[in-house]
Amino acid sequence: MVVLMDHATPNLPSRDFEATFQFYASLGFQARWRDEGWMILTRGSIDLEFFLHPHLDPATSWFSCCLRLEDLDAFYATCLAENIPEATQGVPRTHKPVIDSNGLRMGALIDPDGTLIRLIQNDHE
Protein backbone atom coordinates (compact mmCIF):
# COMPACT_ATOMS: atom_id res chain seq x y z
CA MET A 1 0.00 0.00 0.00
CA VAL A 2 1.30 3.46 -0.92
CA VAL A 3 0.81 6.13 1.74
CA LEU A 4 0.59 9.65 0.37
CA MET A 5 1.68 12.53 2.56
CA ASP A 6 -0.18 15.82 2.62
CA HIS A 7 1.73 18.46 0.69
CA ALA A 8 1.29 21.80 -1.00
CA THR A 9 2.70 23.13 -4.22
CA PRO A 10 3.04 26.83 -4.90
CA ASN A 11 1.59 28.20 -8.14
CA LEU A 12 4.02 30.74 -9.56
CA PRO A 13 4.05 32.94 -12.65
CA SER A 14 6.27 32.43 -15.68
CA ARG A 15 6.58 34.87 -18.55
CA ASP A 16 8.17 32.13 -20.67
CA PHE A 17 8.16 28.43 -19.74
CA GLU A 18 11.43 27.66 -21.53
CA ALA A 19 13.30 30.49 -19.78
CA THR A 20 11.80 29.45 -16.43
CA PHE A 21 12.72 25.83 -17.04
CA GLN A 22 16.32 26.70 -17.97
CA PHE A 23 16.73 28.85 -14.83
CA TYR A 24 15.38 26.23 -12.43
CA ALA A 25 17.09 23.33 -14.24
CA SER A 26 20.40 25.02 -13.45
CA LEU A 27 19.42 24.70 -9.77
CA GLY A 28 18.67 20.98 -10.05
CA PHE A 29 14.96 20.99 -10.92
CA GLN A 30 13.58 18.59 -13.51
CA ALA A 31 10.46 18.85 -15.63
CA ARG A 32 7.62 16.65 -14.44
CA TRP A 33 4.79 18.09 -16.54
CA ARG A 34 4.44 20.71 -19.22
CA ASP A 35 1.76 21.73 -21.66
CA GLU A 36 0.85 25.08 -23.19
CA GLY A 37 -0.54 26.52 -19.96
CA TRP A 38 1.06 24.73 -17.03
CA MET A 39 4.47 23.43 -15.98
CA ILE A 40 5.56 21.43 -12.93
CA LEU A 41 9.22 21.29 -11.90
CA THR A 42 10.59 18.94 -9.24
CA ARG A 43 13.75 18.82 -7.16
CA GLY A 44 13.74 15.99 -4.63
CA SER A 45 10.55 16.46 -2.62
CA ILE A 46 9.99 20.06 -3.83
CA ASP A 47 7.39 20.72 -6.52
CA LEU A 48 6.96 24.14 -8.11
CA GLU A 49 4.00 24.68 -10.43
CA PHE A 50 4.04 27.49 -12.98
CA PHE A 51 1.30 29.18 -14.98
CA LEU A 52 1.87 31.43 -17.98
CA HIS A 53 1.81 35.15 -17.22
CA PRO A 54 3.49 36.69 -20.30
CA HIS A 55 2.78 40.31 -19.34
CA LEU A 56 4.13 40.10 -15.79
CA ASP A 57 6.48 42.93 -14.80
CA PRO A 58 9.21 41.35 -12.63
CA ALA A 59 9.84 44.70 -10.92
CA THR A 60 6.29 44.80 -9.53
CA SER A 61 5.69 41.08 -8.98
CA TRP A 62 4.30 40.22 -5.55
CA PHE A 63 4.39 36.43 -5.95
CA SER A 64 6.30 34.40 -3.36
CA CYS A 65 6.71 31.04 -1.69
CA CYS A 66 8.93 29.31 0.86
CA LEU A 67 11.30 26.41 0.31
CA ARG A 68 12.07 24.67 3.59
CA LEU A 69 15.41 23.00 3.04
CA GLU A 70 17.40 20.33 4.86
CA ASP A 71 20.63 21.95 3.62
CA LEU A 72 20.10 25.64 2.99
CA ASP A 73 23.84 26.22 2.55
CA ALA A 74 24.13 23.64 -0.25
CA PHE A 75 21.15 25.08 -2.15
CA TYR A 76 22.46 28.62 -1.71
CA ALA A 77 25.91 27.53 -2.91
CA THR A 78 24.25 26.09 -6.03
CA CYS A 79 22.62 29.48 -6.67
CA LEU A 80 25.97 31.26 -6.37
CA ALA A 81 27.71 28.63 -8.55
CA GLU A 82 25.15 29.44 -11.26
CA ASN A 83 26.27 33.09 -11.09
CA ILE A 84 23.08 34.37 -9.49
CA PRO A 85 24.40 37.48 -7.75
CA GLU A 86 23.95 38.55 -4.15
CA ALA A 87 22.32 41.93 -4.75
CA THR A 88 19.58 44.25 -3.51
CA GLN A 89 18.17 45.01 -6.96
CA GLY A 90 17.60 43.26 -10.25
CA VAL A 91 16.47 39.79 -11.20
CA PRO A 92 17.52 37.14 -10.70
CA ARG A 93 19.34 37.68 -7.43
CA THR A 94 19.99 36.13 -4.02
CA HIS A 95 20.04 37.37 -0.45
CA LYS A 96 22.53 35.69 1.87
CA PRO A 97 21.05 33.51 4.63
CA VAL A 98 20.82 35.15 8.05
CA ILE A 99 19.06 34.38 11.32
CA ASP A 100 15.89 36.47 11.51
CA SER A 101 14.17 37.88 14.60
CA ASN A 102 12.19 34.63 15.03
CA GLY A 103 15.35 32.53 15.08
CA LEU A 104 14.81 31.14 11.57
CA ARG A 105 17.82 30.89 9.32
CA MET A 106 16.59 32.27 6.03
CA GLY A 107 17.89 33.55 2.72
CA ALA A 108 16.16 34.41 -0.52
CA LEU A 109 16.19 33.79 -4.23
CA ILE A 110 14.38 36.16 -6.59
CA ASP A 111 13.79 34.40 -9.89
CA PRO A 112 13.84 36.01 -13.37
CA ASP A 113 10.09 36.71 -13.12
CA GLY A 114 10.49 38.60 -9.83
CA THR A 115 9.09 35.82 -7.62
CA LEU A 116 10.48 35.84 -4.08
CA ILE A 117 11.54 32.35 -3.01
CA ARG A 118 12.26 32.34 0.72
CA LEU A 119 14.95 29.77 1.51
CA ILE A 120 14.43 28.48 5.05
CA GLN A 121 16.64 26.00 6.90
CA ASN A 122 14.59 23.16 8.39
CA ASP A 123 14.74 23.19 12.17
CA HIS A 124 14.65 19.78 13.83
CA GLU A 125 14.59 20.89 17.46
Closest of 55, 49, 61 to residue 90, by C-alpha = 61
Three-state secondary-structure class, residue 113: coil
**Between 49 and 4, residue with greater pLDDT:** 49
- What is the H or E stretch that residue 98 is in? strand 93-99
pTM of the complete model:
0.92
Residue 63 confidence (pLDDT) above 90: yes
Mean pLDDT value across the chain: 94
Tell me the pLDDT band of 29, cut-offs 50, 70 and 90. very high
The pLDDT score that the predictor gives to residue 20 is 98
Tell me the pLDDT band of 117, cut-offs 50, 70 and 90. very high
